[in-house]
Structure formats: structure tokens, C-alpha cells
Amino acid sequence: MIRHNLTDTIAAITTPLGESGIGIVRISGTQALEVADKVFTCKSKKIPSGFKTYTTHYGWIMAGGREVVDEVILTVMRAPKSYTREDVVEINCHGGIMALRRALDLVLENGCRLAEPGEFTKRAFLNGRIDLAQAEAVLDIIRAKTDYALRVGEEQLKGALSFKINRIRDKLLEALTALEAGIDFPEEEITPAQLATLRQRLEEAQHGLEEISRSSRLGRVLREGLSVVICGRPNSGKSSLLNALLKQERSIVTPIAGTTRDTIEETLDIKGIPARIVDTAGILKARGLIEKKALQRTNKSIALADLVILLFDGSCGLNKADLSLIKKLRKKTVLAVINKIDLQQRLRKEKILKAFSRVIEISAKKTKGLDLLEEAIAGSAYQGLAPAAESILVCNMRHIQELKRSQKLIGQAIVSLDDKLSVEFIAQDIKDALSYLDRLLGKEFSEDLLDKIFADFCIGK
């Protein structure tokens, strides 16, 4: 990857390309105001470098000082009180592709280079406005699929996770300071009372990390979505259920069994949880190449699912296909659902309760019982760990890994302390645990790590 000079003045379109009311070209760096002076003009003949910070100005973007490119509003935000802690100029153009591209081209011609993906946020991190965990929260906010996921991202951007991690770091630093004093002055032995305090600090840090880590599954679901697969024998109402959950006709529904020959996937918000719902083919034994492919896709979807909705036809008794699916899904997280309760019931739910602890009864066609089903789907994501409003959720896989590594080392230090091993070993474990937390926050980082993180961002953020 080409490494550009971070002292360059950069520019990019920060809004999605396409037709819209407004599009924004953002400039950041030491020459941002100088570049704006060259392309912007207004009736007062004042130039952007003379504007006060946090002010907006009406005028025009001009090519060569003569040709009007667009009528714009220009905003000035001077360092250090800007997104990047550099001088920032934002040009609000009309949202058409041509107007934005011409405005950006002019800015680039007059002393800027095109920003890399995520470079504005990267500069905000490197200039100390946010830490690395907060920088990654920006991407979580952009990708949030539900209000709940958005709130979690916003809390992390405010520094909620960083605050908690820093409190744990403080406990580890206290423990390390006490140990290093014993190493530097070996004639002064660490007393039993000091050892007890040391152990307490390590346990508090360990419990703090455990509390954060417990939320990681729900955090992953909020970021990636809960994978929910609807399966069942042919004509059990799988496609009707997908349509009912989506509140639109997404899957073809006919009285003919086996209408669905492919997996159909849609994402929706279920009680604040982003869920990727997959409707599968009800084929259990393939009779040809197409059905073989369909069965392979169904099996793959089931294998990767976080949750399987096993749908039964309430208007029929259990048959071999139902029993085969019950056996096949024994090791998966399953919601047993009886469909078609609007019809005469021939299926006794007591038989299903022998295999599953709970059965939900619905009518996908009449949309009865769907609220209970949605609650059960969301509940499977929480798994009894529904957080309080002030709880911290860890959504980022990198954060989860760093927390687990730190947690393991703290546990190792506690065991070493109990086994009365040399304080040098214990101190090293604590140093290594601190190092992983510092990597999480960005107190320690490599260029390769930053490249990997910010490569996922869009250009302009």
C-alpha cells in the first residue's frame, strides 16, 4: 500500500454519489484555507482564510476565476476544533455527480491530494481527538442496521468502552507499580498484606474484562446481524412466514409443494436486532441437479445459522420429513414453530415438546402470533444477557481478541501469584496484558494495523 505523507492537505467527496439535494467536498490540512481561497468567491470579495471558525458563507466555486462551477455554501472549521484537529473546509454543493466531481477536481488541482479510505478519521486518531476504539466506532455507526446498533456505536464513539478499559488499565498499573518496587528493592520484601491487595487489583481487572467480554456475542450480532434460517418440509409455509416477517411479498407462495428452489435472504429489524432471514428450499431428497444444488444451499445455510426456525404444518400430523429434520437439527439452536393455526389442527404440539422445550404457534397467512415469534428471535440473540442502558457492548472482533488475550494473561498472573512464583514472572504477565489493552485503545499500534482498520472505511470518512 502506498503510504502518503500525513501532512498533506487532503480532499474527498464525503456524501454518496448520485442525485441528491446536497453533496459535500471536505478539505483537511494545513493548506485547506489556502486551497479554498483559490476556488471560492463571494459577493463581499472576502476569502476563506479570512473567515472566522465555525462560520458558513454563500458563494460560488469558480474555475480559473471566471467560470462558475456551482453555487455553494462553504463552512470553515479551524484547528484544533474540527473533526481531524486540522483546518477543515467543507463545500456544500448541489448533489449531482458532475457538480461534485468538478468541485473536487478543482480542489485537487489547487494543492490537495485525494484522501485515502478513512483518512479523515485516521487523522482524528493520530492527532489525539479520539482513540482507536472510538475511531472504529465511526464505522459501526455508518453500518448500523437498527436503532439499538446505532446507540451502541454512538456510546462507543463517546468513549464509553475506552473509559471502562482505562479504569481496568489503572488497576493493572497499580499492581505492576507495586511489583516493580519489589523488584527494584529486593531487600524490602512484599508483605502478605501487599500481596493480598495486589491479588485484589488483579481480580478486579479480571472481573472487569469478563463483564465486557460477556457482551461480545450480542455485540457481534448487532454488527453482523443474527443469521436466522427458516426450514421445514415442503409446503409448511416457509415463504409465507418470510413474507409475513418482511410485511411484503418477497417469496413466491403457491399451494404447490416445493415452489422455493433457492435460498432467499433479507435483512430486517426484529426488536432492535438486525436479523438476516433466510428462506430455504423444503427439499429433503434431491431428484435432479437443480434440487441437488438447492439442498446443498439449504444445508450450508443451516450449518452457518445462529438460529433455525423449524416450521411445522399444524394442519397435518408429523411425518418422516419432520422427524428427519428434528434429528438433523439436534445440535443447532432451534425455535420450533407450528404454522397454519388458522386451519383445523391435526398436529399435537406435545409430540414436538418431547424434542424442544418450547413451541410457538402462528399463522403466517393471517399474521397471528408473529409478535411472540419476533420476541423469541430477539431473545435468542440476548441469551439472557440483555444489557442495561449503561452497559458496554463489544462489537468489534479485534477488540474481542485483545480482551481475551489480556484476560488470559491476568488469569495467568493470579495463578503465578498463588503459586508464589517469582515476581518477575507476574510482572511480565501484567505488562503483556496491558500491552493488549493498549493495542485495543491505540496507545500502541503499527502502520499495518492502521492500514487494515481504515481500509474498511469509505473515502471521505
DSSP characters over 379-395: HHHHTT-PPPTT-----
- The answer to which of 116-120, 266-270, 442-446 has the lowest mean pLDDT is 266-270
Closest CA to 166 of 434, 430, 449, 444: 434
* Distance from C-alpha of 152 to C-alpha of 137, rounded to nearest angstrom: 9
Flag whether pLDDT at 52 surpasses 90.
yes
Flag whether pLDDT at 420 surpasses 60.
yes
**55-63: strand order across its sheet:** 40-41, 55-63, 67-77, 88-94, 22-28, 10-13, 113-114
* Distance from C-alpha of 113 to C-alpha of 5, rounded to nearest angstrom: 10
Closest CA to 365 of 311, 320, 322, 326: 311
The CATH number for 430's domain is: 1.20.120.430
Shared domain check, 293 and 158: no
Residue 454, H or E segment: helix 447-454
* Distance from C-alpha of 212 to C-alpha of 192, rounded to nearest angstrom: 30
The pLDDT of residue 259: 47
Shared domain check, 369 and 243: yes
pLDDT band for 34, please (50, 70, 90 cuts): very high
The pLDDT of residue 252: 47
Average pLDDT over residues 385-411: 81
* Distance from C-alpha of 362 to C-alpha of 371, rounded to nearest angstrom: 9
- The Cα-based distances of 126 to 82, 85, 214 in angstroms read 14, 10, 30
Instruction: Count Cβ atoms below 10 Å from residue 56 Cβ, excluding itself.
Output: 11
Within-domain flag for 460: no
C-alpha cell at 460: 471521505
More confident residue, 227 or 148: 227
Residue 265, H or E segment: strand 264-270
Task: Tell me which of 336, 352, 382 is where a domain ends.
Answer: 382
Cβ-count burial 100-110 (b if 16+ within 10 Å, e if not): bbbbbebbbeb
Shared domain check, 162 and 92: no
- DSSP secondary structure code for residue 189 in this structure: P
Shared domain check, 112 and 28: yes
Within-domain flag for 278: yes
Flag whether pLDDT at 389 surpasses 50.
no
Residue 167, H or E segment: helix 160-184
Shared domain check, 301 and 261: yes
Shared domain check, 91 and 36: yes
Shared domain check, 146 and 67: no
The pLDDT of residue 60: 96
- The answer to which of 32-36, 390-394, 417-421 has the lowest mean pLDDT is 390-394
Average pLDDT over residues 393-404: 90
Average pLDDT over residues 365-389: 80
Shared domain check, 102 and 169: no
Quote the domain boundaries for residue 294. Answer: 233-382
Q: How many domains does the chain have?
A: 3
Distance linking the first and last C-alpha atoms of the chain: 19
Within-domain flag for 18: yes
Within-domain flag for 452: no
Within-domain flag for 65: yes
Shared domain check, 248 and 367: yes
- DSSP secondary structure code for residue 196 in this structure: H
Q: How many residues does the chain have?
A: 461
Closest CA to 131 of 98, 156, 150: 156
- The Cα-based distances of 306 to 67, 230, 246, 287, 309 in angstroms read 58, 11, 19, 29, 10
> Dmax over Cα atoms in the chain, in whole Å?
87
Percent of the chain, pLDDT > 90?
51
SS3 call for 397 = helix
The pLDDT of residue 284: 57
SS3 call for 242 = helix
- The answer to which of 45-54, 67-76, 154-163, 247-256 has the lowest mean pLDDT is 247-256
pLDDT band for 76, please (50, 70, 90 cuts): very high
Flag whether pLDDT at 217 surpasses 90.
no
Residues 320, 349 contacting (CB under 8 angstroms): no
Shared domain check, 245 and 126: no
Task: Tell me which of 382, 414, 432 is where a domain ends.
Answer: 382
Shared domain check, 110 and 143: no
Task: Tell me which of 382, 405, 425 is where a domain ends.
Answer: 382
The CATH number for 328's domain is: 3.40.50.300
Instruction: Count Cβ atoms below 10 Å from residue 421 Cβ, excluding itself.
Output: 13
Average pLDDT over residues 169-178: 90
Shared domain check, 55 and 95: yes
SS3 call for 427 = helix
Within-domain flag for 356: yes
User: Is 272 buried (19+), middle (13-18) or exposed (0-12) by CB count in 10 A?
Assistant: middle
Closest CA to 385 of 219, 159, 272, 156: 219
Cα dihedral sign, 26-32-37-38: negative
Within-domain flag for 197: yes
Within-domain flag for 228: no
The CATH number for 114's domain is: 3.30.1360.120
